[in-house]
Structure 1
C-alpha cells in the first residue's frame, strides 16, 4: 500500500491538525481502526480527520489529546480548524469539496452550486432569504463563486453532474437569467470541464426521488456522500452507506440521457429562454 500523501497545510484549515493527528497516531503505533475503536468511531472517520475532509468536534479533540498524550494540542486547534464562511450544515462538505479529486452530484430542482452563474446564484439566495439586506446576499454570492473556482483548473477535480429536467424548466430569475445559466453549463461541457447529464421527466420514478446527492472521492481518504435538505445537510462516511449512494448515482446515470443528448437538450432550452427574453 502506498504511503499517505503529505498534506498541504494551505489547502484547508483542517490540513495541519490532520497531518499532526496522523503523525501522533503513527508515533503511538496505532492504526486508524485502533484509534477509532478507542473513540467509538470508524477507522474511516479517523482517515477523514487526517485528510482534512472532516472537522474535529471539541469532544473528539479532547479525547484524542488524552489518548495520544498531546498536551491539549487538538483542543486548542479545534476552534480555528472549524471556522467556515459557509453555513454549519454545509461547512464540512465545502471543505471536502475543495480537496476532492472527483465530485459527482445529482440535483432535483436547481442548478448545482459549482455550475451556477452569479445572476442565478443571486436569485436562489434571494429566494432563500427574501428579507436579507443586499450586503448579505452579495457575500453569499461571492462565497458561492469562490467555490466555482475549482473549475479554473483544466482537469481536476473531475465534475460529473446529473440534472433533473425540472432544474432546466424552473425559470429561476426569468428567461434572461436561465438563458445565461444554461449557456454557461453548455460552455463547460463543450470545454470538457464538466460531464453533465439530464434526467428527463420521461424517466419516471428513479433512485433519488427523495432528494439531492453529492459524492466526493479523494486521493488519500475514504469517499464521502453528502445529502442536503431544507436548511440541513449530512455528510456520510460509513462505507456501506456511501456504497449505497454510489449505486443510486450509477442507476441515475444509466437512466439519464447520454452526455451528447443532454447537451442538445440544455442548448435547446437555453435558446428557448433567449427567444423568450428577446422575441
Structure 2
C-alpha cells in the first residue's frame, strides 16, 4: 500500500505485540535484513558471553523470552532505547548502542530510503502536488495529522515511524551546495483543514519560510485556474550532475519511474506548463499570507 508515494505496512503487520521492542523487517529489504541479522548475532553472542539465558536477559531489559529470540534471529528491528539497555545489561562497551544509526535507517521503508538517496544526489528537483502539501514541505504535525486518519488505522508506533521517515527526507534542505528546488501546490490543498488551527497555521508559516529560501521556487495553482496537465496526478522530476534525469507521474507510464530521455521530456513539458500557469512566486506567497490571516 502507498501513501503520498511512500510504502506502508498492512494492518496485520502494524498491529504488533504489546511487548514487541521493535518492528518486523521488510522481507524485500536485503540491506535491512543484513543489518538486523548482524545486530541479532551480536545480541546473542554478547548474551551468551555474559552467561545469560534468553529469559534472564529478557527480564533484565523488560521483554519476554520470545521477543529476545525474535531480535536475535533478525526478525525484529530493535528500538534505539532497547539497544542502549541491552548494551548496559550485557556490558558491550557501546558496541550495541553504536548500531543505532544503521538500525534507525532500517526503520524507514526501503522505498523511502531509496527516494531519499536519489534526492540526496539531485541538483534540481521539481514537484507538482495536486492533493496535498508535498512531503518535503510538510511539518511534522501536518504529516502526523495525515497519517492518523488513514484507514485501516496505523498504530501509534507506525505513525511515529512514517513521520520520522518523511522528516528524514527533508535533510535535502541542509545540503551544501543546495539543490535547486521548485514546487507547485494547489490552492485547494492549502485550504484543506489538516489538523487543528495551530497545525494549519504552522504549515502555512513553514511554507512561507521555505518559499523565501534563495534556492526554492514555490508557486500556487489558484482555484480559478482552468484545466492543466497536472490534473492527471502528481509529477516529480529529479536531475543529476551527470546530466541524467528521473521522473515519475501518477498520470504517465503507469506511475512507474521514468529515466528514458523521451519519457522524461514528456514530464518536463507537463511540469513546465503547470509552472507557467501557476501564480508567480511573489503572488503565491501573498496568497499563502492571506490564507494565514484567515486561519
Q: Same fold (TM over 0.5)?
A: yes
Q: Could you list the runs of 5+ residues in structure 1 that have no partner in the other structure? A: 1-12, 14-82, 274-279
Could you say if the C-alpha distance between residues 250 and 156 of structure 1 is closer, same or farther in structure 2, counting changes exceeding 3 Å? same
Q: What SS does the corresponding residue of 1:161 show, helix, strand or coil?
A: strand
Report deviation, 1:127.
2.4
Q: Deviations for 1:34-69, whole angstroms, at most 9, x for unmatched residues?
A: xxxxxxxxxxxxxxxxxxxxxxxxxxxxxxxxxxxx
Could you tell me which residue of structure 2 aligns to residue 188 of structure 1?
210
Q: What SS does the corresponding residue of 1:160 show, helix, strand or coil?
A: strand
Report deviation, 1:89.
5.5
Could you tell me which residue of structure 2 aligns to residue 241 of structure 1?
263
Q: Is the 8 A contact 2:210 2:216 kept in 1?
A: yes
Q: What SS does the corresponding residue of 2:188 show, helix, strand or coil?
A: helix
Could you tell me which residue of structure 1 aligns to residue 233 of structure 2?
211
Q: Is the 8 A contact 2:249 2:267 kept in 1?
A: no
Q: Is the 8 A contact 1:93 1:226 kept in 2?
A: no
Within the candidate set 256, 264, 270, 2:292 is matched to 270
Could you tell me which residue of structure 1 aligns to residue 279 of structure 2?
257
User: Which whole-Å CA distance do the structure 1 matches of 2:215 and 2:149 have between them?
Assistant: 29
Could you tell me which residue of structure 1 aligns to residue 149 of structure 2?
127
Could you tell me which residue of structure 1 aligns to residue 77 of structure 2?
none
Q: Deviations for 1:210-258, whole angstroms, at most 9, x for unmatched residues?
A: 10010000002510002248xx952111111110000011101110001
1:118 and 2:140 are equivalent in the alignment = yes
- Higher RCO (CA-CA < 8 Å; seq separation 6+): 1
Superposed CA RMSD in Å reads 2.4
Give the TM-score normalised by the residue count of structure 2: 0.60
Structure number with greater Rg is 2
Q: What SS does the corresponding residue of 1:201 show, helix, strand or coil?
A: coil
Q: Is the 8 A contact 1:151 1:193 kept in 2?
A: no
Q: Could you list the runs of 5+ residues in structure 2 that have no partner in the other structure? A: 1-30, 32-104
The count of residues paired between Structure 1 and Structure 2 equals: 191
Matches within 5 A, 1:170-185: 170-185=192-207
Q: Is the 8 A contact 2:187 2:220 kept in 1?
A: yes
Q: What SS does the corresponding residue of 2:228 show, helix, strand or coil?
A: coil
User: Which whole-Å CA distance do the structure 2 matches of 1:93 and 1:161 have between them?
Assistant: 17
1:139 and 2:161 are equivalent in the alignment = yes
User: Which whole-Å CA distance do the structure 1 matches of 2:265 and 2:150 have between them?
Assistant: 32
Within the candidate set 179, 183, 206, 1:157 is matched to 179
Could you say if the C-alpha distance between residues 215 and 85 of structure 1 is closer, same or farther in structure 2, counting changes exceeding 3 Å? farther
Q: What SS does the corresponding residue of 2:284 show, helix, strand or coil?
A: helix
Q: What SS does the corresponding residue of 1:208 show, helix, strand or coil?
A: helix
